[in-house]
Amino acid sequence: MIGFVLFFAWLGFGGDYILALATSDAGPHAYHHVFPWLGIVLTLTAIITASYAYKTGPEKVLWSTGAREVIDPQTDGERQLVNVVEEMAIAAGVARPRIWIVPDDDPNAFATGHGPGDSHIAVTQGLLSICNRAELQAVIGHELGHVKNFDVRLMTTLAALVGAVLLVRDGMGRWMWGRGRVASKAEEGGKKGAGPLLAILLALWIISWVIAPLVTQLLALAVSRRREYLADDMSAQFTRNPLALASALEKIEGATAPTTSIKRGAAHLCIADPLGRHFTNHEGWLGDVFATHPPMGMRIAKLKGMGYAQLKKEGGSFTNSALA
């Protein structure tokens, strides 16, 4: 969050400083940039935009996926889902979230909302089709871990900030290239000797605007990857059955198609990358930078290690009954 604030401060007040340098040698009747209106306007615009996106974020995410709320369950699968959510909400010590089903055959799930008192859990139709009760409990436990840890509020805020950067960047781009003020002032300042420093700062500022969406998206992804491990641990704590989540993740990972109903803006909310798992399956620098989730193999191995340690402590052995 500090990174977002500092990045906005550079884009706004850095632009003010560049304009001040560019107009410092202007004539007595020319424009002199002395008041940091650009930084103030940019920051206020970003705050207002992010605030609106944050308040309406959960509804927009659910709407974008085509999810329908389960109010009166009609099928055995829907009734089991409602029962499991109610059970796991009690285990997690949170209020029962509203329940949604996404009409998509790819298995996936996500949570959204503003906290334990205002949360939503959505699962795809594909997840209901492939998971037994224990695996479904584990997946719901994972999502309730996000709810209990206020991850849903954090990730909604991060998504809103990413959207704010995109919106403000587009507006500033039209202002800069449409009127050409910054470039013309920089050129004028350069002729009068304000020169190398101004040219360097202007180049860095323009590059910052170009890469702003990428930088903010990478910051959001970095937070998302760390929170996934914590939610896995919370699921194991709630269910006392880490092997069930490991089995569910293996089934989810075995799905061949991406979750087409869930778009890029909500990808970091899901239990598994809905965009095809291309970068998620790579360990190392490539996966760390571009993946929405940590490598599935590492998550599964960690859960299996927890499960085997638990079975050994209890004096049992690993059998299929652990997943029943």
How wide is the angle at C-alpha 319 spanned by C-alphas 317 and 323, nearest 5°? 120
What is the pLDDT confidence band of residue 16, given thresholds at 50, 70 and 90?
Answer: confident
**Which helix or strand (DSSP H or E) is residue 265 part of?**
none
Q: What is the largest CA-CA distance in the chain?
A: 87
**Active-site residue among 59, 69, 87, 143?**
143
Question: Using CA atoms, how far apart are residues 66 and 60, in angstroms rounded to an integer?
Answer: 10
Read off the amino acid at residue 285.
Answer: W
Q: Quick check: pTM over 0.85?
A: no
Mean pLDDT taken over the chain = 79
pLDDT in tens, 116-169: 989 999 999 999 999 999 999 999 999 999 999 998 888 777 777 766 666 666
Q: What CATH fold (topology level) applies to the domain 64-152+221-323? A: Zincin-like (3.30.2010)
- Mean pLDDT over 277-282 rounds to 54
Q: Domain spans of the chain?
A: 2-56+155-212, 64-152+221-323
What is the pLDDT confidence band of residue 191, given thresholds at 50, 70 and 90?
Answer: very low
pLDDT in tens, 215-241: 766 766 666 677 888 999 999 999 999
Read off the amino acid at residue 227.
Answer: R
What is the pLDDT confidence band of residue 321, given thresholds at 50, 70 and 90?
Answer: very low
pLDDT in tens, 54-102: 788 888 888 888 899 999 999 999 999 999 999 999 999 999 999 999 9
What's the Cα-to-Cα distance from 92 to each of 67, 89, 132, 136, 143, rounded to whole Å? Answer: 24, 5, 20, 15, 10
pLDDT over 60 (residue 245): yes
Pairing of strands 98-102, 109-115: unpaired
Annotated active-site residue 87? The verdict is no
Following DSSP, what letter does each residue of 36-77 receive, concatenated? -HHHHHHHHHHHHHHHHHHHHHHHHHHHHHT-EE-SS--SHH
